[in-house]
Amino acid sequence: MDVKRRTFMKALGLTAASTVLPGCDAEVRHLVPYVLPDDEIVPGIADWYASTCGECQAGCGIIVRVMEGRAKKIEGNPDHPLNQGKLCAQGQAALQRLYNPDRLQGPVLRTTAGSEGPLTATSWDDGVSRLAEKLRGADGQVIMISRPLSGTLAELLSTFVRSVGGKLFFYDPDSELSLRAAMQRGLGVPGIPQYDVAQATYLLSFGAPLLEQWVSPVAFGIAFGHMRQGRPTRRGRFVQIEPRLSLTGANADRWVPIRPGTEGLLALGIGRLLLTAGKADLPQKERAAFERFYGSIPLQEVATGTDIPLDQIKDMARTFADAEHPLAIGGGAACAHTNAFAAHLAINGLNALAGNLNREGGVRWYPDAPFPERTDVEWLSERRINELAQASAVGRQRPLLLLYDCNPLFTLPSTIPIRRLFTNASFIASFSSCLDESTAMADLILPDHSRLETWGDHVQDGSSPRRGASLIQPVVTPLYNTRALGETILDLTRRLHPETELPRTFAELLRKRWDGLATSGQSRPPASPSRWVQHLQKGGWWPSNSTTMQKLRTSFPAPAYEPAQFDGETSDFPLHFYPYPSPTLGQGRGANLPWLQELPDTLTSAIWGSWAEINPATARSYNIRQGDIVRVHSPHGSIDAPALHYPGIRPDVIAMPIGQGHIDYGRYASHRGANPLSILAPLFDAASGALALGATRIRLEPLAVPGDLVLLEHPGTKAGTDLLSIEKPRRAEG
């Protein structure tokens, strides 16, 4: 609790910046792309501001077109090394977060106890002082759950939560914790490294949805285009291994419909073949460990287990071994089982066997970050949340809960008693800018600005060869009486630790930290106002050339392969269930943006709702027509969704997109579709504790009543009106 000024400042990395900063003189201000005052706006002329996208953790650079003081369009920042002027659908739709009609317009307070009472507006002074009062009385029993943050805000928040004796957690259902854990164990890197897809010649993807909302979608999109057609003489081949053909899988040359949960087993088989073929270039000592690991399961067993013919496995292994730049990536469906960690070790080990670490077309890591990185914030796995919730149910402690921009009540199955963590909390404060299922439980909401109204920065992770940091800056004056989270935290700190000397604003804190950037070694010119302006105009700072690479080494032996566990008896629940993050709505975060709701799912053309994908053969055997409602029963509950005949799915699997089924997330998302997460079993990846999305078995009950499936293709007609089926008979006629 007792944090002296010195330690607070030191923790923020500010002690070095003691020189007086020159104020912005007139000339400088003219250059600064700060939000223009009204009298400097020329009607009809667009101003452009560089900033950083916040829709996923990748942190692409954006430029925002502003006219008459209103943001009009978000585009990719051409100077940014990550996305090079490109931007995904979600990044562009982020404009509708700024203008979302359901945004909270100021601080609100629940005056009666419990989550049922009405929310009433209050002032910022009242709201912040109430929270400060609660924090003072919490006696260190403070839990803060936030979406993963980066840069200055992460520093400030982590320092603050520690100063009140609490614990800060990052939580993101998309974080692929099992893959991260495998990377830490196998390669010793604290994140997902760079997969050099652009230079790969044979890409073997074990379920990795790299062309959807995964890790860094735009960067993978750019790399994919290059892999296919960017090199004059060669086109990279691409095989996707997953039980359900995803959007990424549709782009592969070959789709291998593997049995759910056996991705690691297949990797063992391929690794064994690589080793016996003598293709692996390993020191004798390591070789033995690799052989023990990959040789643990006979090939015939691999073929039976994975449901892939042995010849096909041999063919994949041969092609992988002979390719100039083979690359194995795991993710998505391979992250969805209780053995995900072990599977990723086996998949990543293939890169080591192929001698594919630290080189072009392979796996690389760049450790030099421009700012010292925070490594002490724990990433919450679903199992850890389960433990916290269980503990709060039995303990007498009633913690104070702080929430920021995450929605665990939606993204966790009801079998995890997360709701108890909420009902047991002595007080809940949320800083989210919209009501969602979790924030709706809060006693006090101090809404954050939209991304386009706020200051901040984002440090790129070690997958980026030109590893730098991007700046976030306000491009419009705030629409409402909201306040940036950084400002609220500074305000709280001032009230709780009046002795602390703090920067006046979060922007000042950010600026000081960036001025420190220039003096923290790495031969950069000294900080000056004009450099700051340059950073703002460019959208950040990146080294001009690739930074140093960390020499990656695989360390084996790893734990032995283990089969995936499933919940539900095969006799009662004959089918596998696989809820997958929607390519348009993600894990539900995008559901309150009308542009994304109306964006057709590419593979089904479905919009504004959810559906259950079923192999046409399975549908026939159950006598389920397209669009009819099916009831999906798991051992933990049931949901209804219209059936959609989907040719790209194993007959023993039913898949459903995650994202819909909100109860309380604004007018566009609420009471639309069903949330498949709600019926999942509490099964986790053994090593990382990540929720095993595909580990629940189900049975289907056809209800034989039409559902509200809205498809963009063939509205109201039978198939056969598309362009190719018109053209085909014409061609045949000659």
Partner 1 sequence: MSAGQEKTTEARPHRWQMVIDLDRCTGCEACVVACHAENNIRISGAQEAAEGRAINWIRIERYWEGEYPDVKAKFMPVLCQQCADAPCEPVCPVYASYHTPDGLNAQVYNRCIGVRYCGNNCPYTARQFNWFDPHWDPPLQEQLNPDVTVRQNGIMEKCTFCVQRIRQGKEQAEREGRPVRDGDITPACVQSCPSTALVFGDGNDPDSQVAQMSKSRRGFHLLESLGTHPAITYLKRLDE
**Residues 18-47, interacting with partner 1 (CB under 8 A):** 44
Least distance (Å) between residue 701 CB and partner 1: 23
Least distance (Å) between residue 374 CB and partner 1: 30
Among candidate residues 158, 668, 145, the one with its CA nearest the CA of residue 411: 145
User: What whole-number distance in Å separates Cα of residue 679 and Cα of residue 658?
Assistant: 12
Least distance (Å) between residue 108 CB and partner 1: 19
Least distance (Å) between residue 93 CB and partner 1: 5
User: What whole-number distance in Å separates Cα of residue 113 and Cα of residue 692?
Assistant: 35
Q: Name which of residues 378 to 397 contact partner 1 (CB under 8 A).
A: none
The answer to the question of residue 285 lying near partner 1 (CB under 8 A) is no
- Nearer residue to partner 1 within complex by CB, 295 or 600: 600
- Contact criterion met (CB below 8 Å) for 681 and 568: yes
- Nearer residue to partner 1 within complex by CB, 498 or 734: 734
Q: How far is CA 642 from CA 449, 709, 710, in A?
A: 37, 6, 10
Only segment of 31-39, 254-262, 403-411, 452-460 that touches partner 1 (CB under 8 A): 254-262
Least distance (Å) between residue 78 CB and partner 1: 9
Only segment of 32-40, 127-135, 545-553, 708-716 that touches partner 1 (CB under 8 A): 708-716
Q: In what order do the strands lie in the sheet with 456-459?
A: 456-459, 469-472, 540-541
- Nearer residue to partner 1 within complex by CB, 583 or 694: 583
The answer to the question of residue 648 lying near partner 1 (CB under 8 A) is yes
The answer to the question of residue 605 lying near partner 1 (CB under 8 A) is yes
The answer to the question of residue 607 lying near partner 1 (CB under 8 A) is yes
The two structure tokens encoding residue 480? 């409402």
- Contact criterion met (CB below 8 Å) for 212 and 599: no
- Contact criterion met (CB below 8 Å) for 697 and 573: yes
Q: Name which of residues 213 to 252 contact partner 1 (CB under 8 A).
A: 217-218, 220-222, 224-225, 228-229, 235, 237, 245, 247-248, 250-251
What are the b/e assignments for 664-695, b being 16+ CB within 10 Å? bbbebbbebbbbbbbbbbbbbbbbbbbbbbbb
The answer to the question of residue 322 lying near partner 1 (CB under 8 A) is no
- Nearer residue to partner 1 within complex by CB, 504 or 730: 730
User: What whole-number distance in Å separates Cα of residue 78 and Cα of residue 434?
Assistant: 31
Among 81, 257, 516, 579, binds partner 1 (CB under 8 A): 257
The answer to the question of residue 48 lying near partner 1 (CB under 8 A) is no
- Nearer residue to partner 1 within complex by CB, 141 or 454: 454
Among 74, 388, 412, 445, binds partner 1 (CB under 8 A): 74
User: What whole-number distance in Å separates Cα of residue 519 and Cα of residue 503?
Assistant: 19
The answer to the question of residue 139 lying near partner 1 (CB under 8 A) is no
Q: Name which of residues 658 to 677 contact partner 1 (CB under 8 A).
A: 667, 672
- Contact criterion met (CB below 8 Å) for 178 and 688: yes
Beta bridge partners of 146: 170, 404
Among 21, 24, 70, 291, binds partner 1 (CB under 8 A): 70
Least distance (Å) between residue 242 CB and partner 1: 12
Count the residues of the shown chain that bind partner 1, applying the rule CB under 8 A: 84
Main-chain phi, psi angles of 509, to 5 degrees: -60, -45
User: What whole-number distance in Å separates Cα of residue 342 and Cα of residue 265?
Assistant: 9
| Contact residues for 592 (Cβ-Cβ < 8 A; gap 6+) | 100, 102, 434, 662, 665, 666, 668, 669
Among candidate residues 313, 228, 331, 231, the one with its CA nearest the CA of residue 272: 313
Whether residue 557 has a cis bond before it, omega within 30° of 0: yes
User: What whole-number distance in Å separates Cα of residue 249 and Cα of residue 99?
Assistant: 35
User: What whole-number distance in Å separates Cα of residue 431 and Cα of residue 449?
Assistant: 9
Least distance (Å) between residue 545 CB and partner 1: 23
- Contact criterion met (CB below 8 Å) for 712 and 605: yes
The answer to the question of residue 123 lying near partner 1 (CB under 8 A) is no
Only segment of 170-178, 367-375, 411-419, 707-715 that touches partner 1 (CB under 8 A): 707-715
Only segment of 13-21, 352-360, 369-377, 647-655 that touches partner 1 (CB under 8 A): 647-655
Among candidate residues 36, 92, 67, 29, the one with its CA nearest the CA of residue 451: 92
The two structure tokens encoding residue 394? 């039995």
Among 647, 671, 704, 706, binds partner 1 (CB under 8 A): 647
Beta bridge partners of 427: 400
Q: Name which of residues 195 to 214 contact partner 1 (CB under 8 A).
A: 211-212
The site string for partner 1 over 92-121 (x = CB under 8 A, - otherwise) reads xx-xx--xxx--------------------
- Nearer residue to partner 1 within complex by CB, 247 or 703: 247
The answer to the question of residue 71 lying near partner 1 (CB under 8 A) is yes
> Residue 671: what residue type?
H
Among left, alpha and beta (phi > 0; psi -120 to 50; other), residue 154 is alpha
The answer to the question of residue 728 lying near partner 1 (CB under 8 A) is no
Least distance (Å) between residue 250 CB and partner 1: 4
Least distance (Å) between residue 67 CB and partner 1: 6
Only segment of 152-160, 273-281, 440-448, 601-609 that touches partner 1 (CB under 8 A): 601-609
User: What whole-number distance in Å separates Cα of residue 330 and Cα of residue 186?
Assistant: 13
Least distance (Å) between residue 608 CB and partner 1: 4
The answer to the question of residue 66 lying near partner 1 (CB under 8 A) is no
Q: Name which of residues 468 to 497 contact partner 1 (CB under 8 A).
A: 479
Among candidate residues 323, 324, 325, 301, the one with its CA nearest the CA of residue 313: 301
The two structure tokens encoding residue 470? 């991007």
- Nearer residue to partner 1 within complex by CB, 415 or 587: 587
The two structure tokens encoding residue 487? 């400002």
- Nearer residue to partner 1 within complex by CB, 217 or 330: 217
Among 530, 602, 620, 704, binds partner 1 (CB under 8 A): 602
Only segment of 122-130, 137-145, 423-431, 723-731 that touches partner 1 (CB under 8 A): 723-731
Least distance (Å) between residue 611 CB and partner 1: 13
The answer to the question of residue 373 lying near partner 1 (CB under 8 A) is no
Among 86, 364, 383, 576, binds partner 1 (CB under 8 A): 86
- Contact criterion met (CB below 8 Å) for 401 and 422: yes
The answer to the question of residue 463 lying near partner 1 (CB under 8 A) is no
Among 31, 47, 75, 640, binds partner 1 (CB under 8 A): 75
Helix, strand and coil in the chain, % to nearest 5: 35, 20, 50
- Nearer residue to partner 1 within complex by CB, 178 or 194: 194
Tell the residue number behind the tokens 């009242």, with chain if given.
126
Least distance (Å) between residue 461 CB and partner 1: 19
User: What whole-number distance in Å separates Cα of residue 108 and Cα of residue 122?
Assistant: 5
Q: Name which of residues 343 to 372 contact partner 1 (CB under 8 A).
A: none
Q: How far is CA 363 from CA 24, 210, 325, 583, 599, in A?
A: 44, 15, 11, 25, 33
Only segment of 133-141, 253-261, 336-344, 491-499 that touches partner 1 (CB under 8 A): 253-261
Among left, alpha and beta (phi > 0; psi -120 to 50; other), residue 626 is beta
User: What whole-number distance in Å separates Cα of residue 467 and Cα of residue 469?
Assistant: 7
Among 127, 326, 539, 609, binds partner 1 (CB under 8 A): 609
Among 201, 262, 615, 688, binds partner 1 (CB under 8 A): 615
Q: What ranges make up the beta strands (E) of 45-86? A: 47-52, 61-67, 70-76
Only segment of 362-370, 380-388, 438-446, 714-722 that touches partner 1 (CB under 8 A): 714-722
